[in-house]
Structure 1
């Protein structure tokens, strides 16, 4: 800054304050708070385990959600540091604070470290109360899955994102670990259906994101993300079709599984299948029509998908709570 050597003290500090203010804004932007919506997967267990009337379960789940928000923001900062050069070649990502120089690598790195420690601290505190030598993983499953989430995402940021197919599998597994951590937080045994349904759904979403990048960027796609050299409109459409089919099929099988019917007391969960099919197909069509690669951006800007999600959630709650009542139990046998 070209400050005059004999400026008054009151005015000399203003540029510094503006710079600090801009850096704080840039840091907040880099945390990608809108993407915290992805961490809602930790609430899956409290929903399907029907523990929504237990205050302690809510405290544990919300605390886990907060910890994953801190951990995921730390990962975003690390990823942006690693991607700063390739981001500068992207028409939109070049405006990210680290790529554009609004946020220094030093500040971003220190902030990432603080967020990792804060998130890990919450997990450690919660895990201390869950410790039980006779339980699986000695009751430390929450710490295990949170740690696995951090490890695979660091591996992704530092190199595995450049490995075709492995990149989208890691993204999907990140959601699986969120859901499993949510189950461990309330001491619920993780259902294999939770793992399979979450994985196939999020694999579909990850592939749709890659397809969006290829369509919107064309030849630039491989320059901004090296792994995109492998994906083409043809092969990624095939993978999308397979992953969408798997996601719908696994959800249907979950709804019809003997274990599910026995636990709920009826097979009425099948009435939610059309809602899931509509939601997935609409999301697929939106990514084609809008050419948006970011699933969060698609979700936040489409009110219909929000309505679909709310309707599905309400149906799930109603069926889990009253699906075994004599009035509706005999509808589907």
Structure 2
């Protein structure tokens, strides 16, 4: 029989695990964009800048986690009726909702305090990100076009935050590229959801009733073209070496590969999942990062 001390320790460990899962660590790959400032910065790479970027990465993970906590707290009754969401910590009853909400408040305040120490402007950015995502969870995700633009805005905030934590500016072209690529991913996600649930699209996401495959394909064509052109211009106008132009074919292949996965394999609902599962995309991203680092450091 397990001793009371071991049982208490096991319960505490289980509680911590549930809180960690509540923060949805599978979504954390989105926050890797924070490191873009470190990679593309004209400043000399330093260990201090790396540490600040890592801290910025976790701050975004925690702020996003607070949004998930609030969202799951409000939707816990509805989630219990969902085939997959019912297994979430609060919906399943494994995690006390009030304790989770209290943890979220403490985590939010703590993250904001740390962000202020890094850069006072970072506090405003994280607060805006939090408010915008809460608004998205409760209202904006049901507004056609606005829903995908809010998702794209979240990625732009990540890119800006990466610059704030190491105190370096971004070129407008880089932010435009980030916004367009984010729109591409958001539109692709909506297309995947629409085709997957076409027979009952209104019962999954109300906003899907306002979309059609033809519309989303047209939007993606516009965004894809704009993304490639914008990135190409960025490589020449960023203030870095023009040798960044050699990464243009890698970017084009990555976008084309993603389009292939969307149209031929009916994927695109989860970008972070594609990155892990599709070897071509994973190799492309790794090759791109290595190429950029080598070019900026040695050419």
- TM-score above 0.5: yes
Partner of 2:90: 98
Partner of 1:225: 205
Query: What are the Cα deviations for residues 30-61 of structure 1, in whole angstroms up to 9, with x where unaligned?
Result: 21112111111111111111445222222221
Partner of 2:177: 197
- Superposed, which structure 2 residues align to 1:94-173 within 5 Å? 94-127=86-119, 140-173=120-153
Q: Could you tell me which runs of 5 or more consecutive residues in structure 2 were left unpaired when the two chains were aligned.
A: none
The answer as to whether partners of 1:146 and 1:178 remain within 8 angstroms in 2 is no
Partners of 1:278 and 1:90 lie apart in 2 by: 37
Q: 2:289 aligns with which of 291, 304, 313?
A: 313
Partner of 2:248: 273
Counterpart check, 1:284 vs 2:259: yes
Partners of 2:214 and 2:230 lie apart in 1 by: 25
- Superposed, which structure 2 residues align to 1:208-247 within 5 Å? 208-247=188-227
Q: Which has the larger radius of gyration?
A: 1
The answer as to whether partners of 1:87 and 1:224 remain within 8 angstroms in 2 is no
Partner of 1:297: 273
Partners of 1:25 and 1:55 lie apart in 2 by: 31
Q: RMSD across aligned C-alpha pairs, in angstroms?
A: 2.6
Change (3 A) 1:166 1:82: farther
Q: What is the CA distance between 1:78 and its match in structure 2?
A: 1.9
- Superposed, which structure 2 residues align to 1:33-48 within 5 Å? 33-48=25-40
Partner of 1:330: none
Query: What are the Cα deviations for residues 90-111 of structure 1, in whole angstroms up to 9, with x where unaligned?
Result: 5433433334444343233222
The answer as to whether partners of 1:81 and 1:98 remain within 8 angstroms in 2 is yes
Change (3 A) 1:291 1:58: closer
Q: What is the CA distance between 1:196 and its match in structure 2?
A: 0.4
Partners of 1:88 and 1:292 lie apart in 2 by: 26
Q: What is the CA distance between 1:249 and its match in structure 2?
A: 1.7
Partners of 1:222 and 1:89 lie apart in 2 by: 16
Q: What is the CA distance between 1:321 and its match in structure 2?
A: 2.4
Partners of 2:80 and 2:222 lie apart in 1 by: 33
TM-score by length of 2: 0.88
- The DSSP-based 3-state class of the residue aligned with 2:168 is coil
- The DSSP-based 3-state class of the residue aligned with 2:269 is coil
Partner of 1:326: none
The answer as to whether partners of 2:258 and 2:268 remain within 8 angstroms in 1 is no
Partners of 1:232 and 1:217 lie apart in 2 by: 12
Partners of 2:211 and 2:78 lie apart in 1 by: 18
Query: What are the Cα deviations for residues 189-216 of structure 1, in whole angstroms up to 9, with x where unaligned?
Result: 2221121011000111111111111122
Q: 2:19 aligns with which of 20, 27, 32?
A: 27
Query: What are the Cα deviations for residues 202-241 of structure 1, in whole angstroms up to 9, with x where unaligned?
Result: 1111111111111222233321222212122221111122
Matched residue pairs, number? 298
Query: Which structure shows the bigger proportion of residues in helix conformation?
Result: 2
Partners of 1:93 and 1:226 lie apart in 2 by: 17
The answer as to whether partners of 1:171 and 1:203 remain within 8 angstroms in 2 is yes
Q: What is the CA distance between 1:180 and its match in structure 2?
A: 0.7
